[in-house]
A and B are shown apart, each in its own frame.
Chain A
Amino acid sequence: QAALTQPASVSGSPGQSITISCTGTSSDVGGYKFVSWYQQHPGKAPKLLIYEVSNRPSGVSNRFSGSKSGNTASLTISGLQAEDEAHYYCSSYGDNNNLGVFGGGTKLTVL
């Protein structure tokens, strides 16, 4: 069982915006700024989309944005495109040097 809770699936139409939530506790998401988001296409390794809650690595589209409120982090994808269809995972630092507390993943379907 994953430590962070994500919805199993979300969907949206091209051009729309969607938000994926990631809920933890004060021992992980709520207690630290180290929340990351990853995109994984089938058969591929994950790709870093967001780090430190809301920062994008170089080369990641500004259609991807992150935020956090209390124990819940969120990933918003605006202007949905067909290639955004993938699994998305959140991750956070956790107490006692737990460098990688992951969510269970969310499958995004672009209708």
Chain B
Amino acid sequence: QQQLRESGPGLLKPSETLSLTCTVSGDSISSRYYWGWIRQPPGKGLEWIGSVSYSGRPYYNPSRKSRVTLSVDTSKNQFSLKLNSVTAADTAVYYCVRQIVATLGIDYWGQGALVTVSS
């Protein structure tokens, strides 16, 4: 059974860097999927941040590209998100997800990690 679990700090100050890691269990991260991040501000909708392929190629939401870095660590079966220069607008639940390459459907989601940006 595929499982994804986010980990990282839940509270940041403005201008800091958000760093989250997703640990994948039940499958190899080298399998042919995209591994991505989606966020949801409190009471609002879903926003795709970016995804990284099984080969390590990143794909970014054009509106977030300047602040986002995605990476994969195959030795630990993990992938990571870094979002720099955070503001209160980056407060959200961050989900790590598995996205099927052939259909782009997102079939597995982590439980979500709430990250709050506050001074």
Q: What number of A residues sit within 8 Å (CB to CB) of B?
A: 26
Q: Which of A1-56 contact B (CB under 8 A)?
A: 2, 34, 36, 38, 40, 45-48, 51-52, 55
Closest Cβ of chain B to A81, distance in Å, is 23
Query: Are A100 and B38 in touch, CB under 8 angstroms?
Result: yes
Q: Which of B64-119 contact A (CB under 8 A)?
A: 95, 99-100, 103-107, 109-112
Query: In the complex, which of the residues B34, B99, B109 contacts A45, with contact meaning CB atoms closer than 8 Å?
Result: B109
Query: Are B106 and A98 in touch, CB under 8 angstroms?
Result: no
What residues of B have a CB within 8 angstroms of the CB of A105 in the complex? Answer: 45-46
Query: Are A102 and B104 in touch, CB under 8 angstroms?
Result: no
Query: Are B105 and A46 in touch, CB under 8 angstroms?
Result: no
Query: Are A102 and B47 in touch, CB under 8 angstroms?
Result: yes
CA–CA, A47 and B46, complex, Å? 12
